[in-house]
Chain A
């Protein structure tokens, strides 16, 4: 990137920057693209104004939030939390061996290639799309959500596990091996302590992300508060929608708080 600015400084002290042709072409291209998009997306001023009008009506109907059906709300939220926690737990259980299998410094190439292929496949689809497939396979309900988020967790944590295992110091492994330790012992005594700190960081991050996503998989019928949210949207119960959204945000913020405490304890 052209970070350095070049130009000429005249004797009278005025600085004339050199024209940056790349930037100029970039701006032109951006303008043309945006003009093309406005026509493609059928954007015009009237639609924008009527949209703002709709928006104000919509916001008016969202407030005040309606918490009268709090039992339904709590039930959905609790299920979302269950999905998030179980999916993280299962994801970590599967990711630990997967991470070791995918680490290039511990395993032969053919093993790491297979493991990496599985990990990439797990990561390539949005959790909601994976949830659709599991809803077909195991029916509506929390189980599909758990499986979908487990897949997403494996895609993320196993990759990071493998990367941090690849960065460990091999001297300690060699020292443990020199004592005649077996392979499981090498893993347990040589590798594990070196990566444990980073693992807890990844796990707490993934728990956070799973809690966020567990409120969404319900949109496709995979359990949790998302189903309630979507139903409320379709029935135009916008005051209930805002109540649900406020509770989701509260849960996510609480989760972030717990995460911060956890990070402080396991520094």
Chain B
């Protein structure tokens, strides 16, 4: 902003208008007061805090050495189940998210009400945590990997659909126009015009979400939705910390392996 003066030298240049400055300062005040209020009112029992290092050492002591015999008897099957849950959930999410993504893209679906409906579906899918989805599906379908897969799928729809819709909106319009000029049908325009353009983005969204889903599906078992979380919660409830440690190590290995696989695939195909 320029504060005018009679000559060029007397003019003052400032980066923000006064209103912008007021807003910025007000926001700082809001942030600081939120932090101060939270810190002053949060319920922390001081004895617990002073006790923490000792408890931590105790926990690590109980964890070491990890109980390797737990791996073949329980963890292995649970890990495989976790990977299945994440994979099936991702496939299901993609199948459900593609039509919603098409509906949300304003250049493909030029009807406002449909756009809003799709956006509402995507936002509600993303606002509910996968653990809550899992609780809901466990109540509906009973405990087990089916509930876990559905939870993963419904949580992922929002993510996949949003990014897929954005990719469609960014598609190059001249290709589409060329196809329209040939008199191609709606389906042909979708399949020959948009699809090849969004294909690389599609694969990268898919891989990215699969990677996230592997991590997420590891905790679903805590509410009974199958996978490695079941093994973890069993070990926790019985206070077998050495088994807990073994579960955590296996999770770490799987997450690292998945990340490696994803980066390799990404290098090859995208």
Which A residues are closer than 8 A to B by beta carbons? 1, 3-5, 30, 33-34, 37, 40-43, 47, 51, 54-55, 58, 79, 81-83, 85-86, 89, 124-126, 128-129, 132-133, 136-139, 141-143, 146, 212-213, 215-216, 219-220, 223, 229-230, 233, 238, 245, 248-249, 252-253, 262, 265-266
Contact = CB atoms under 8 A, between A and B. Distances in A.
Contacts, number: 141
Interface of B: 20, 23-24, 27, 34-35, 38-39, 41-45, 48-49, 51-52, 55-56, 59, 84, 87-88, 91, 123-124, 127-129, 131-132, 135-136, 139-142, 144-146, 149, 192, 196, 199-200, 203, 215-216, 218-219, 222-223, 232, 236, 248, 251-252, 255-256, 269-270
A42 B144 contact: yes
A55 B140 contact: yes
Contacts of A212: 127, 129
25 contacts: A1-B200, A3-B199, A3-B200, A34-B88, A41-B84, A41-B88, A51-B141, A54-B139, A79-B42, A86-B39, A124-B252, A124-B255, A126-B219, A129-B232, A137-B56, A138-B49, A138-B52, A141-B45, A219-B223, A230-B135, A230-B223, A233-B135, A249-B124, A249-B128, A265-B23
A219 B20 contact: no
B236 A30 contact: no
B52 A1 contact: no
A86 B141 CA distance: 37
A126 B38 contact: no
B59 A136 contact: yes
A265 B20 contact: yes
Given A37-B88, A85-B35, A137-B56, A1 B270 contact: yes
Contacts of B88: 34, 37, 41
Contacts of A136: 55, 59
Contacts of B35: 85-86, 89
Contact of B44 (A142, A216, A252): A142
Contacts of B48: 138-139, 141, 143
Nearest to A140: B48
B107 to A, nearest CB: 20
Nearest to A53: B140
A167 to B, nearest CB: 20
A129 B144 contact: no
Contacts of A265: 20, 23-24, 27
In the complex, the 6 A-B pairs of residues with the closest C-beta atoms, listed nearest first: A82-B38, A139-B48, A55-B140, A51-B141, A1-B269, A85-B38
A219 B140 CA distance: 19
Contacts of A126: 215-216, 218-219
A134 to B, nearest CB: 9
A141 B42 CA distance: 10
B200 A266 contact: no
A73 to B, nearest CB: 15
Tell me which of B127, B216, B236 has the highest count of chain A C-beta atoms within 10 A of its own C-beta.
Answer: B127
A125 B216 contact: no
Contacts of B44: 141-143
